[in-house]
Structure 1
Amino acid sequence: MAFKAFVTSHVYSKQDASKERDKFSVQCVEWFDKNLYVGTKHAAVHHLILEGSKSENPSPDQTKTRECRSRKLGSSNAVVQLRAVPHFNHLLVLWDRSITALNMFSLESVPTMKKIQQVSLFEVSKSEEGEVLMVTSSSRRKVIHIHLVRVDRWELVKEVALQQDPVALAVDGATLCVATCDRYLLCDMETGRSEELFPHHHNKQRIIVSSAGQGEFLMNGPESLGMFVTKAGTCQRPPLQWSLEVQAARVCFPYVLTLQPHMLFVYSILDQRHKQTVSQHGAKGLLSTPDGVIVFTETDIFILHPVPVAEQIQALVGEKRVQEALTLLEGVQRHQPLDSYKELQKAVTCLAGFAHFYQQDFSEAKDLFIKGDLDPREILLLYPDLRQCLSEDFQSQLHQHPKDQDLQLLWAEDTNTYTHYLNFLRDFLLAVRGTEQDLRCTAEVDCALLRLYTELRDTERLRELVSLPNECRLDYCVPVLEQQHRFFALGCLYQSHGKQMEALETWMKIVDGLDEDPSCSDVYGHIIVTLSELKDKGTVWKCADWTLQKNPEIAVRIFTRRLPRDLLETQDVLTFLEKYLVALILYLEFLINDLCSEEESHHNRLALAYVTQTLQKEEEEDLNPTIGKLQHLLWESEFYDISTVYEAVKSTALHSVKAILLGRLGKHSQALQVLVHQEQNLQAALVYCHRASRDQEPQFKQALMMDLLQIYLDSEELINNAVDLLNDNPQAFTAQTVIQLLPDSWSVQLLSRFLVRSVRTTVHQRRMVKLQKMLVQAELRRHKVAWQMQASKMKFSLGKEQACKVCQTVIAEPAFACNSHGDIVHISCSGMI
């Protein structure tokens, strides 16, 4: 679609005889609302009324002009200028070097408004106060007159002198832009000050100055440049590069229309580019109106209507002039209603995004689609293998998809490039997921992402999608995951949709080898975690047996790693785990160690389970872990039935366990007998003495050690061990008792080490007792003094020459005493020591 900024509508043509046509020759035009005023070559003013549709795309058939009135001003001389003043219903006419005021509708003269003579140019504007000002150029003097226009008169309010005659002028508020034969000037009508802008070398026909709106003027500058100058005398826009043959120029924002022989050129103010060329033979002048630009020849009048901005932008995008379209959009922002601008901005931004999309400029395309709030389904519609994600009731809102490239053909012919398009789609959908753009089509977005992740082998994101809450449709996504052998993700999808049993069954098939999915290395562990977090206890019981058959040591976590409020009934679990010894032990350990259970049945059951496991593994080399746990339980627990456990081990070879149980029954001598003679582990017997006497009085440990010594002495094979026991543990025995117990045949030399260390220990203990007694006495004395002072509640003052009342010598020490009479004395004199 070729770009057009304006469309031409022919509004009037004089069809009279040739002689009449020569008299009618158009010299100037003026416009207000539907009123068109024409000034002719032979001093006539015609009032035409435009009738017809104001559609967005007017055509000659839709625009008709009705001749209303005509007024003959004289017999000769052309009407030079027409200006309407709707505020007073005046039509100001420059004819025969004078300005006449006519009624806009009757074309009758306003009798109270006298002609202004000797005028070559004039313009009308409104001041900041809303008053209508008329600026006239004298044809005899180098001076500008400023008139205040009233309803029935005009008043000359100021004169501004110039050094040269004005050739053209334009006015904006209180600022006047004047062109002379060789330069352009800015004049302030309030102060009368003038400022030279820049010189020129144009002849009179090429000098152009017109109001550009918004406090700017447009001039034909040097070097064929269209210059924009503000009222402050500065240029805030780049100049336009136009032809040397420009005869007239008018602004119809955001464009400048320039009239050249046989052609009308349209330039953009926003980017200074040539946008359109309109053929116009014989055109004499231009007039800017709110509805467009009027172009007139001697016999015909045309209106160039602006094409709606949306159509202009769509045409630019269609020609891949994306940057121009965006520039135009930003430029017209202030001239559009906010709501329509936002909608237009979204549409244009999306169209620009499609242009970048097909050029594989994916980063820019994604940003534009997001900025334009594009419905993600419009993108999905372009991908042949993703259209099934769309719901049947979806209707595309884009009336024109710029399809430079058929993705279906690309899918078949160039898979590498098509993969880039898939990556773009994935990134775009990820960016909009969870935003307002996604709210309209959350299910379609999630289904498309699932399909993309499977095709692009993006395992991590696929797992994240299906594991978290999503809107994937199962009827579409399940077959996709099955075809791609993504069974683990399929289970996660079932789980996220509340279908726990279907999820677990899917994962169990992977573990059993019925389905293959290498994307997850520990599916069994995931099943255990899922069951441990599952609140549906019925599903847990259905799957528990399968998990325990696979690995009871791990499977027990479905019972032990649950939240406290979700724990299963303890007795049900214990009954269920009867046939899984390892799992039973781990569960009982959980009850006792983690939940601090004090139920006797739990402690009994764990001890018996340890016994059973130890007996089952007695042929294995490493029994230490289980036996160690059993011994620790028997020593530490206070809640098991000792007799019950002893009955279970008394006929076994677990002698160390029997010794502990005998000790818990108070039969320490029998326990030591078992360890020495049945277990034949003398070190274990010594350890037993230390362990059993922990937290007991020293006499208890001495009694145990004496029992062990007696057992050694009763056996001839253990005599040397008895000697070693005495020599290594002298602090545990009393020398007098040991000497009475030892055989007479033992020599002092044999026991010298024991005796020396025993005597030394005894002496040390006596000294420590004496020292402790003295420390206690000192502490008691300190407390007595404190109690006495607290009881007396008296204050004593000790002077520098204070003498003791007993020995009459000066008290030099800081410590002193007070007798019952209140006299201060030495501590030694008080009898306290």
Structure 2
Amino acid sequence: MAFRALTQTHIYEKQAAQKEKDKSSIQCLECYAKNVYIGTKNAIVQHLILSQSINGDLSPDPCKTREGRTRKLGTSSHIARLRAVPLFNHLLVLWDRSVTALNMFSLESIPGLNKIQQVSLFEVCDSPLAAPTACVQMVTSSSRRKVIQIHIVGVDRWEVVKVVPLLQEPVALAVDGTSVCLATMDRYLLCDSQTGCSEELFPHNHSRQHVIVASVGQGEFLLNGPESLGMFVMKTGICQRPPLQWPQGVLGAAVCFPYILTLQPQMLSVYSMVDQQHKQTVSLSGAKGLLSTPGKQSNTNSSPNPEQIQTLVRHERIEEALLLLEGVQSRDPLDSYQEQQKAISCLAGFAQFFQRGFSEAKKLFIKGELDPREIIRLYPDIEACLTDDFQSRFVQVNKGTDLQVLRQQDKKAFHHHLCFLGDFLRGVRGTQQGLGCIKELDCALLRLYVELGDFESLQQLVASPNECKLDHCVPVLEQNNRFFALGSLFQSHGNQIEAIQTWVQIVDGAHQDSSCSDVYGHIVWTLSQLQDRDAVRTFADWTLQRNQEIFCRHRPDDQIETQDVLALLEKYPLALVLYLEFIIHDLNSEVGTAAATSNVIISIYGNPNSMTSPLCMVCRSVLVIGELWLNSKSCFVPITDRVKSTTLHTEKAILLGRTGEYGEALKVLVHQVRDPEAAEAFCCRASQGQDSQFRQSLLLTLLQIYLSSEALISTAVDLLNNYSRVIAAEKVIQILPDSWSVELISQFLFGSLRETLHQRRMAKLQKMQDSKTKFRLDKGQKCTVCQRDLAEPQFARTLHGELIHSLTSD
């Protein structure tokens, strides 16, 4: 592979006298930030300070590494382990089988932290899950007993909080949170520092020198398993990664995310955690140990740099690149990395795109906040919507020519690329990512939908608010015969006249477009919604000439006056009638429309001199049938006086009836309108919702009007014969002239008597039916009339089933 996972840098060298070389050799290291601590064979702790450049990177120049303080702990034994606790500025040192706490900078002993004696191994974990706030957990193994001890370390104290017994002495251990993984001479174990429970993992046959236990993080450990296998074990005791095959004789192993490092005497090998494959070999001389400090700057390159990720992307090692990127973000989320992280996400997205991993590519492009124009430019023809001043940031990944070839050679594959473009552009449209180039984005979507033949999406785009550039999009729609969408585009940009004119040309056959099955209906609906008087007038004649029945329904409270609509419809009687019926029946049922419909009537009856015009005659025929009967009388107060002074007798009669003057209304219909059928219809309609007595009273009034004129005698007889079952005979006989014979009213009398006899028989049947019904009279039951107790055996029942006293009981 052409990239280097780790870079070897020489940061410090100290020449020692020939006789002191063996004594001053390095036994262990610890790193934190730019601080490096060295533990030597002759019990010396050396503090080094790495130089730091302006941008925060550690300098590789060994001449710029400064020596800090030095502390000699004694004359015998070597420094076995160093661990920094930056929370308290402590440096913990394992020397002479005891743990000592020093200040990280002065290397002076910490008062209150006495030595912990008889320690063979120790490890520190600063996870908040392992210890309370402002404390650090430390695990030690005893050099005398087969136990491990859990310590809580504070700024000036430490104490043992738990002792976990073991069957064998530990030879290596690692800590992650509350989990402790350790190795004895023949097996690996997992222990829980809170509960003290332990679980055996698997046996091994390694010598003490080759036993490896390293923390990977996130509750995972790396162990040197059997058959030279690096085993990844979770704190739950299971393996979630495949084992790593590494060479024999490995002295140490560590994880520098996302790489695994193995140390041999003459080399350092680098493996990927993604595919467990060998990636790099670094030559060493006399290596003795390995220290990794993930998440910290140290003398090793412990986190991947952007160049490594870009190299992986260029070699289309996408999975590794993404894992590296995740490591950069989770382990070193500095502001200085953010722009680089975005660029890397975009590079990985392009690699996925050209491998047709469209779903992952979209996620990466959105994550990297990719300018949508970077994708648009890859597509032939669609890139024409970009302006000349656009400069790509990813010229090196421009494979636009590949899509041109793909378009010619594999249309199905190219179709998938087009679908991805639409999915991505829709995903960023309306977001901050797409707002910077919304015009180019909408133009690209329009071209894309045209090329895909996606009429529905095209119509949704142009009919809703959009930023399509008309000078660019209009020719595209015209060249592809998308005239219905062109009209919608004009409309969404406020050009109503141009929009309707475009649709009119489709209906007239000047343009061909089958994307809409009812363009004429759409024009009518559009006109019905417009408040632009000029636009409505421009196309109203064209619309009505084709179909009067489909004329728009326009509300009288809109900006276009109803009188204007009526004048417009004067030449189209059918449309006029339909419009008036809509005003009466549809709007009348809505709250708040009574006043609006009254204005229609006032506008029609406003000029008495034009009452006989064709327009007014049609209006009268509709309104008399419907509106004057349907609306409440309060709506017609402004027009009552106007109608009374005219020859509009039918309207006058209806208005009189609406004000309760029924007799006067019937006189107008009989003597002025001279329409007996209308008079009878008036009685029936006025009595709707009333009882039978009210209807009989109206008919008797009409009969008296007929009887007052000799010319209406036959009409009176017809009225009696028609309503013999409604008008009572005894009422009629009282008002009939004495000169009338029985023979003249025989048909009425026969019908009336027959109705009376029928009602009596029905009453008897009802009484008989009631007499057969049993009723239970309970003690204390009261009469519903007088509210006294029903104490007598005789009682009666009302038609509603209520029990009352009988007439004889009182």
TM-score by length of 2: 0.65
Deviation at 1:480, TM superposition (A): 1.9
Deviation at 1:358, TM superposition (A): 1.9
Structure 1 residues 435-459: Cα deviation after superposition (integer angstroms, max 9, x where no partner):
5544444333322222222222222
Residue 551 of structure 1, aligned match among 546, 550, 557: 546
State the partner residue of 1:281. 284
State the partner residue of 2:8. 8
Residue 564 of structure 1, aligned match among 523, 531, 556: 556
Matched, 1:765 2:752: yes
CA distance in structure 2 between the aligned counterparts of 1:692 and 1:73, rounded to whole angstroms:
128
Residue 241 of structure 1, aligned match among 244, 247, 263: 244
Bigger mean CA offset, 360-369 vs 696-705? 696-705
Seq. identity, %: 47
Cα 1:309–1:641 change in 2 (3 A) is farther
State the partner residue of 1:780. none
Paired residues of 1:145 and 1:160 also in contact (CA < 8 A):
yes
State the partner residue of 2:501. 505
State the partner residue of 2:255. 251
Q: Which amino acid aligns with 1:454?
A: V
Cα 1:691–1:704 change in 2 (3 A) is farther
Structure 1 residues 475-533: Cα deviation after superposition (integer angstroms, max 9, x where no partner):
22222222223222222211111122222333344444444434334434433332332
Matched, 1:523 2:519: yes
Cα 1:313–1:774 change in 2 (3 A) is same
Q: Which amino acid aligns with 2:555?
A: L
CA distance in structure 1 between the aligned counterparts of 2:59 and 2:622, rounded to whole angstroms:
100
Paired residues of 2:147 and 2:169 also in contact (CA < 8 A):
no
Q: Which amino acid aligns with 1:9?
A: T
TM-score by length of 1: 0.63
1:213-612 superposed matches below 5 A: 217-228=221-232, 234-235=237-238, 237-238=240-241, 240-243=243-246, 244-260=248-264, 262-267=266-271, 271=274, 273-274=276-277, 276-290=279-293, 303-308=299-304, 312-327=308-323, 335-337=331-333, 350-366=346-362, 369-370=365-366, 374-390=370-386, 401=397, 403=399, 406-411=402-407, 413-435=409-431, 437-548=433-544, 550-551=545-546, 553=548, 557=551, 561-566=553-558, 568-569=560-561, 572=564, 595=597, 597=601, 599-600=604-605, 609=614
Cα 1:71–1:383 change in 2 (3 A) is same
Cα 1:335–1:692 change in 2 (3 A) is same
Deviation at 1:460, TM superposition (A): 2.6
State the partner residue of 1:83. 82
CA distance in structure 2 between the aligned counterparts of 1:29 and 1:348, rounded to whole angstroms:
34
Secondary structure of the residue that 2:351 maps to in structure 1? Answer: helix
| Bigger RCO (CA 8 Å, 6+ sep) | 1
Secondary structure of the residue that 1:528 maps to in structure 2? Answer: helix
CA distance in structure 1 between the aligned counterparts of 2:50 and 2:121, rounded to whole angstroms:
26
CA distance in structure 1 between the aligned counterparts of 2:494 and 2:110, rounded to whole angstroms:
88
Bigger mean CA offset, 182-191 vs 528-537? 182-191
Residue 202 of structure 1, aligned match among 200, 203, 206: 206
Q: Which amino acid aligns with 1:65?
A: T
Paired residues of 1:32 and 1:84 also in contact (CA < 8 A):
no
Q: Which amino acid aligns with 2:420?
A: F
Paired residues of 2:39 and 2:79 also in contact (CA < 8 A):
yes
CA distance in structure 2 between the aligned counterparts of 1:547 and 1:176, rounded to whole angstroms:
85
CA distance in structure 2 between the aligned counterparts of 1:641 and 1:123, rounded to whole angstroms:
116
State the partner residue of 2:593. none
Cα 1:21–1:405 change in 2 (3 A) is farther
Deviation at 1:200, TM superposition (A): 1.0
CA distance in structure 2 between the aligned counterparts of 1:156 and 1:758, rounded to whole angstroms:
125
Structure 1 residues 234-284: Cα deviation after superposition (integer angstroms, max 9, x where no partner):
346546323233221123345431113543233455x57346322223342
CA distance in structure 1 between the aligned counterparts of 2:750 and 2:116, rounded to whole angstroms:
142
- Unaligned ranges ≥5, structure 2: 587-596, 631-642, 651-667, 684-698, 726-735, 764-782, 795-803
Structure 1 residues 656-693: Cα deviation after superposition (integer angstroms, max 9, x where no partner):
xxxxxx9987697xxxxxxxxxxxxxxxxxxx986776
Cα 1:306–1:399 change in 2 (3 A) is farther
Secondary structure of the residue that 2:10 maps to in structure 1? Answer: strand
Q: Which amino acid aligns with 1:12?
A: Y
Paired residues of 2:611 and 2:617 also in contact (CA < 8 A):
no
Structure 1 residues 218-244: Cα deviation after superposition (integer angstroms, max 9, x where no partner):
4312233334557x7734654632323
Cα 1:422–1:304 change in 2 (3 A) is same
Paired residues of 2:556 and 2:562 also in contact (CA < 8 A):
no
Deviation at 1:426, TM superposition (A): 2.0
Paired residues of 2:610 and 2:616 also in contact (CA < 8 A):
no
CA distance in structure 2 between the aligned counterparts of 1:154 and 1:534, rounded to whole angstroms:
83
Paired residues of 1:592 and 1:602 also in contact (CA < 8 A):
no
Deviation at 1:305, TM superposition (A): 0.6
CA distance in structure 2 between the aligned counterparts of 1:73 and 1:643, rounded to whole angstroms:
126
- Unaligned ranges ≥5, structure 1: 295-301, 614-625, 645-661, 669-687, 711-724, 742-754, 777-789, 802-812, 819-823, 825-833
Residue 181 of structure 1, aligned match among 185, 198, 205: 185
Q: Which amino acid aligns with 1:220?
A: N
Structure 1 residues 88-120: Cα deviation after superposition (integer angstroms, max 9, x where no partner):
87684757x899999977889999999999x89
Paired residues of 1:447 and 1:472 also in contact (CA < 8 A):
yes
Secondary structure of the residue that 1:539 maps to in structure 2? Answer: helix
1:152-167 superposed matches below 5 A: 167=171
Cα 1:34–1:665 change in 2 (3 A) is closer
State the partner residue of 1:715. none
Secondary structure of the residue that 2:12 maps to in structure 1? Answer: strand
Paired residues of 1:600 and 1:641 also in contact (CA < 8 A):
no
State the partner residue of 2:691. none
**Aligned residues: CA RMSD:** 6.3
Cα 1:151–1:815 change in 2 (3 A) is closer
Secondary structure of the residue that 2:206 maps to in structure 1? Answer: coil
Cα 1:7–1:49 change in 2 (3 A) is same
Q: Which amino acid aligns with 2:463?
A: S
Paired residues of 2:146 and 2:166 also in contact (CA < 8 A):
yes
Q: Which amino acid aligns with 1:280?
A: S
State the partner residue of 1:50. 50
Secondary structure of the residue that 2:601 maps to in structure 1? Answer: coil
Structure 1 residues 566-593: Cα deviation after superposition (integer angstroms, max 9, x where no partner):
2644555555556666666766777788
Q: Which amino acid aligns with 1:378?
A: E
Secondary structure of the residue that 1:426 maps to in structure 2? Answer: helix
Secondary structure of the residue that 1:250 maps to in structure 2? Answer: strand
Secondary structure of the residue that 2:8 maps to in structure 1? Answer: strand
Paired residues of 2:38 and 2:46 also in contact (CA < 8 A):
yes
Paired residues of 2:42 and 2:79 also in contact (CA < 8 A):
no
Secondary structure of the residue that 2:7 maps to in structure 1? Answer: strand
CA distance in structure 1 between the aligned counterparts of 2:389 and 2:416, rounded to whole angstroms:
29
Bigger mean CA offset, 449-458 vs 82-91? 82-91
